Amino acid sequence: MAYVRGTRKGTSSTRTACEDGRVERPDERPDLPRLTPLIVGAAAAIVAIVFLWLVISVRRDQPFAVDLWWHELMDATQTDAGLVLAWIPSHIGGPTVIAIISVAVVATLLILRWWWAAITVAATLAVCILIAAPLARIVGRIRPEDSLAEIVPTAYPSGHVAFAAAFVTVLALLFRHWLWWALGAVWVVWMMWARTYLAAHWLTDIIGGLFLGVAVGLLVWAVVETIRRRRAARPAGETVV
């Protein structure tokens, strides 16, 4: 019977991300306090819920003033080149392509034997889909009449933005390198702009999707990380394999 030495409670790696030029396992990185992601995640969830309440009770069938202002701005600045740039993230963030990307990312993590990272990513994406898609159908908010993309009344929250935000958030938390945060921020902003540039969503739809995605990414990471640390800090210090 083989044994694997566990990690003692309170210990952590002192290396910084990519310090020695190699890609570190996510669970080798210095511990990140779980309280901050929990608080920020809970706050993001509250904001998303508030937006949800406003949309359902006040503006299910019509946009807010800020929605109209932003929609008119996007319409006034539309160009052929802009439409091409807008369709890129919209296609990549569509159900088929994003499913392929998600499976590829999780499979890569499994091949690398980064088990907890794979579990965290898979759980985040699953929870985001299980919340965003049914919620959009339940709310049934209308899209702009001149939408160049989807036309079904499932505008709030933006699934493209929610999924992008959740994906970026959980990867940034796992690998914690400034490059992840920078590229992730660019991708999410690009997605938010694209969805309104194509008139597929109102401004409040993408804001709600952003907060929903961030909340899911933060909270799922915190839950899985808590489970991982507790398993690693078992009193016996050894795990039977």
Distance CA 43, CA 64 (A): 23
pLDDT in tens, 92-115: 988 889 889 999 999 999 999 999
> What is the average pLDDT across 74-86?
94
Minimum mean pLDDT range among 37-41, 56-60, 66-70: 56-60
Residue 236: predicted pLDDT: 55
Whether the model pTM is above 0.75: yes
Is pLDDT at 161 greater than 60 in this prediction?
A: yes
pLDDT tens across 138-147, in order? 888 889 999 8
Angle at 25 between CA 19 and CA 26, to 5 degrees: 95
DSSP 187: H
Which range, of 18-22, 110-114, 163-167, 182-186, averages the lowest pLDDT?
Answer: 18-22
Fill in the DSSP letter of residue 5: E
Q: What is the pLDDT of residue 58?
A: 63
